[in-house]
């Protein structure tokens, strides 16, 4: 004889202490535990597929987790974004002449020019023209390839992401493309990371010069946030992307065999 509790639940469909309807336990009693497990996996028996499941209380815990995860990710991303904006604003100490480190703004703009694409590309073409050694020409040609690749890849990502520059930024940068109204990723950070790694791996440099090259890359990247041009995440991603670009250049290294005409001296 069924217990009064089960009979009442079967008739009324009222929820138990867990908010789960008692007819679930009734099904277990009739068919056994293994049947309950298989019933869970039958789409037609699943609360999600049941036409009359108007209440979200009927959903199984696993499904609740699947629903909560995206919102958890959303909250995490929104929190990261809030920290990013707050930190970037705090670090933008040279964003204006009147900012706390406003007097350092002209020096930061010189650092900005030192990582700009035009001096790097023009300087590399000049060195390519002046170099008469075979090995030197190979290295410089690959540096030129790296710089052009950097401009293209950064332009593509900026055009896809379309993240606006921080509100504290003054758009007074020299020689920009239309995509440079966007801030993600920082083109200066990608270039600084890529060029510094390139120089450290392909030029024979004394230790103090190697340290200077590393410091230059870090200062150029840091200056993007200090000038208010970028958020911290734009620069961090840019630095990472610069390293990835360097690996790409190594992979597709142009040799005298690939471009023989350019190596005729």
Ligand X SMILES: CC(C)=CCC/C(C)=C/CC/C(C)=C/COP(=O)(O)O
Touching ligand X, residues 189-228 (CB under 6 A): 224
User: Least CB distance from residue 245 to ligand X, whole Å?
Assistant: 14
Q: Determine if 143 is a binding residue for ligand X (CB under 6 A).
A: no
The single residue among 176, 247, 255, 258 that binds ligand X, judged by CB under 6 A, is: 176
Please confirm, yes or no, whether 188 is among the known catalytic residues: yes
The single residue among 26, 104, 113, 173 that binds ligand X, judged by CB under 6 A, is: 173
Q: Determine if 117 is a binding residue for ligand X (CB under 6 A).
A: yes
Which lies closer to ligand X via its Cβ, residue 37 or residue 160? 160
Choices 42-50, 94-102, 114-122, 203-211 (CB under 6 A): range interacting with ligand X: 114-122
Binding mask 144-163 for ligand X (x = CB under 6 A): -------x------------
The single residue among 121, 214, 218, 248 that binds ligand X, judged by CB under 6 A, is: 121
User: Least CB distance from residue 100 to ligand X, whole Å?
Assistant: 22
C-alpha 150/C-alpha 161 separation (Å) is 16
Q: Determine if 48 is a binding residue for ligand X (CB under 6 A).
A: no
Q: Which residues of this chain interact with ligand X, rule CB under 6 A? A: 116-118, 121, 151, 173, 175-177, 180, 186-188, 224, 229
Report the catalytic residues.
188, 230
């Amino acid at each position: 004889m069924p217990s009064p509790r089960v009979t009442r639940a079967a008739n009324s469909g009222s929820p138990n202490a867990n908010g789960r309807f008692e007819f679930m336990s009734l099904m277990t009693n009739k068919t056994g535990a293994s049947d309950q497990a298989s019933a869970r996996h039958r789409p037609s028996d699943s609360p999600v597929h049941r036409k009359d499941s108007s209440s979200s209380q009927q959903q199984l815990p696993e499904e609740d987790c699947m629903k909560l995860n995206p919102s958890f990710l959303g909250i995490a991303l929104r929190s990261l974004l809030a920290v990013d904006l707050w930190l970037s604003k705090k670090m933008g100490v040279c964003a204006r002449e009147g900012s706390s480190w406003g007097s350092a703004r002209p020096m930061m703009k010189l650092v900005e020019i030192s990582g700009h694409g035009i001096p790097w590309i023009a300087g590399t073409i000049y060195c390519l023209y002046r170099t008469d050694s075979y090995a030197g020409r190979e290295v410089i040609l690959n540096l030129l390839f790296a710089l052009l690749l950097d401009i293209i890849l950064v332009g593509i990502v900026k055009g896809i992401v379309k993240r606006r520059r921080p509100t504290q930024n003054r758009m007074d940068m020299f020689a920009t493309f239309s995509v440079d109204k966007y801030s993600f990723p920082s083109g200066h950070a990608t270039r600084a990371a890529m060029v510094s790694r390139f120089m450290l791996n392909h030029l024979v440099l004394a230790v103090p010069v190697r340290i200077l090259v590393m410091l230059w890359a870090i200062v150029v990247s840091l200056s993007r946030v200090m000038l208010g041009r970028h958020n911290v995440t734009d620069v961090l991603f840019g630095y990472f992307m610069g390293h990835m670009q360097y690996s790409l250049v190594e992979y597709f290294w142009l040799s005298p065999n690939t471009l023989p005409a350019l190596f005729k001296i």
